[in-house]
Structure 1
Amino acid sequence: MLNFKHLHYFWVVGQQGGVTKASESLHVTPQTISGQINQLEAELGRDLFEKAGRGLQLTEFGKLVMSYAEEIFTLGNELEAQVAHADEEQPILLRVGVADAVPKTIASRILMPAMDLNERIRFICKESTQENLLADLALHRLDCVLADGPIPSNLGVRGYNHRLGDSGLSFMAATSLTLASSRPFPQMLHEAPMLLTSDVSQIRAPLMTWFTDQQIVPRILGEFDDRALMKAFGQEGVGVFIVPTSIADEVAEQYDAREIGRITDVTESFYLITSERNPTNPAVVTIIEEARRWLGTTRAG
């Protein structure tokens, strides 16, 4: 079995940035720490450090071990803190994964009602791809995942899709951007400068199909995984950008933009994915109920 004392010394060296500072923190000699790390390397059968000039740096294997040590001892510190305050009223912990394709304004609007509960809420929000977040959900590292689509059938992840609702799409342009075409919407979009989401987003493919059906060929100047970055470019007048109609007014005010048209032929859907069919966490229940009220649906996917 792995000797956690050796691992702890190794972790402290990483936290303090060197053996000397770690020895001061642990109140032991540098030789003691070096000996503990040598024993850990012997246990693991691989080097954790390599020479770099006059000092040492982590090997690739050492970086891997450090990432696990970081998680182990961070959780241990959190456990100690929880035990020390066990008699105090503890906040409800809500670990939420937000898929990077979900607009952050949408995410904050959906999650915010949980903060209005009488109970104290502590959010831990993680942003990544839907696939990575669903893996964390399966390992019970997350309570729920906010995504722009249900669980993909090819992932083989067990979970439950709670459909929150849908939103049409609004085409936005900075007030400083003048479009060359005088034709009405949507024909004005033909050859117009356009900023689009990348294919990370569930709406990209149906949107391109809609352009084809409308015989519109936009002049695509940028494709973005990060919608906040896309809106920032749009604010500078680089091109027309697209947002869910549900937040068009907020975006117009925040980014000094105007809505030039909206469509309902292509819609963006939002889901809260949980490992429970019927969630019991009051924060999760509130999020689902309030999001459906806001987005105008009572259906579950």
Structure 2
Amino acid sequence: MEFRQLEYLVAVATQGGFSRAAQSCFVSQSAVSHQVAALERELGVELFERSGRSVTLTEAGQVLLPRAQEMLRLRDDAAAAVAPRHDRVRIAANMTFARAALGAVSAVRERHPEAEIDFLLKPFAQRIAAVAAGEADLALVRGTVEHEGLYLDPLWVDQPVVTFAARHPLAHLANSPTPAELADYPLLLPPPEEQVLLRRLVERVFTRAGVEPTFGPDIRPGHPVAFEMINHPDSWTLLYEDPLVPGLVCRRSLEFTLPVSAVLRTDATPNPLVAEVLTELTRGYRR
């Protein structure tokens, strides 16, 4: 069963004949007759009563017609859902990008109040999959991505913040502690499978400094980082944003940097609105 056959079935039923159906579908009458006959053979039933110039639906045809119309509607809805729209931008990201995205979206919306700009919350792998499948126009990521059909458009360089409790022995320092100064204290991070990027960054920075980090216990899911820092005042961690929580001290360090990029499809239809969002993301988020 093909959509084309269902289209011809609906056309014959609504137009009242094969000739008028052919005209409405811009094909020959023989093409309509051939496809309807092929559908009847496949289903093993007759769909139309043919008597001279009169064509009416059989009982089987009456049962099939509304279902055929619904299938064609669903097909059109599915195509429309993923069709490129120049008045819509779908950004896949996580909450650590919310501030940057909000600033960019606000600026674009001022110029295009009719625009529809969505912020889709997704973990890293789902962001990449969404862009690859056309469900998102762009994804915001840190680090690198290797995926066929996708490319990275660099936006800015992120500086994760070194964070520790106000009672930490290094909290009195005016500047961010060096890797050598941090090496003696346990680093608390989510499990490796949940936070690969920061762990790789730490290992790279500490290796360059000629010291080894001391990893403490993993931060378990559902346990707020702020409480972990307060409960382990000799520990430290890396955060993408300053949480502005009483009892915590944050220091930015040039040692810890990560590139932030937009993930885009290589074959995406050019969209001026996407280009504007990317421009605002680059200009509007300065550390």
Q: Give the TM-score taking structure 1 as reference length.
A: 0.53
Q: Deviations over 1:189-240 (max 9, x none)?
A: 233132125354434223113224342432422257x7x9563444544331
Q: Once the 2 structures are TM-superposed, how far is the Cα of residue 173 of structure 1 from its aligned partner?
A: 1.3
Q: Once the 2 structures are TM-superposed, how far is the Cα of residue 171 of structure 1 from its aligned partner?
A: 0.9
User: Residues of 2 paired with 1:240 and 1:286: CA distance?
Assistant: 38
Q: Once the 2 structures are TM-superposed, how far is the Cα of residue 172 of structure 1 from its aligned partner?
A: 0.9
Which sections of structure 2, spanning at least 5 residues, go unmatched?
A: 3-72
User: Residues of 2 paired with 1:181 and 1:139: CA distance?
Assistant: 46
Determine the structure 1 residue equivalent to 2:255.
265
Query: What SS does structure 2 have at the residue aligned with 1:289?
Result: helix
Work out the number of aligned pairs and report it.
202
Which is higher, the Rg of structure 1 or of structure 2? 2
Structure (1/2) with the larger strand percentage: 1
Determine the structure 1 residue equivalent to 2:8.
none
Query: What SS does structure 2 have at the residue aligned with 1:207?
Result: helix
CA contact (8 A) 2:88 2:117 kept: yes
Determine the structure 1 residue equivalent to 2:189.
196
Query: What SS does structure 2 have at the residue aligned with 1:269?
Result: strand
Determine the structure 2 residue equivalent to 1:53.
none
CA contact (8 A) 2:92 2:139 kept: yes
Alignment partner for residue 215 of structure 1, among 211, 222, 231? 211
Determine the structure 2 residue equivalent to 1:21.
none
Determine the structure 2 residue equivalent to 1:13.
none
Match status 1:178 vs 2:168: yes
Q: Once the 2 structures are TM-superposed, how far is the Cα of residue 188 of structure 1 from its aligned partner?
A: 3.5
Determine the structure 1 residue equivalent to 2:237.
241
Q: Give the root-mean-square deviation of aligned CA atoms.
A: 4.2
The one-letter amino acid of 2:177's match is: F
Match status 1:168 vs 2:164: no
Which sections of structure 1, spanning at least 5 residues, go unmatched?
A: 3-71, 81-89
Alignment partner for residue 97 of structure 1, among 92, 100, 103? 92
Counterparts of 1:1-301 in structure 2 under 5 Å? 1=1, 92-98=87-93, 104-105=95-96, 107-112=97-102, 113-116=104-107, 117-118=109-110, 119-120=113-114, 121-130=116-125, 132-152=126-146, 155=147, 157-175=148-166, 177-179=167-169, 185-186=177-178, 187-197=180-190, 198=192, 200-212=195-207, 213-223=209-219, 231-234=225-228, 236-238=230-232, 239-244=235-240, 247-248=241-242, 251=243, 253-254=244-245, 256-259=247-250, 261-275=251-265, 279-282=270-273, 284-295=274-285
Query: What SS does structure 1 have at the residue aligned with 2:204?
Result: helix
User: Residues of 2 paired with 1:122 and 1:180: CA distance?
Assistant: 43
Q: Once the 2 structures are TM-superposed, how far is the Cα of residue 181 of structure 1 from its aligned partner?
A: 9.9
Query: What SS does structure 2 have at the residue aligned with 1:221?
Result: coil
CA contact (8 A) 2:219 2:225 kept: no
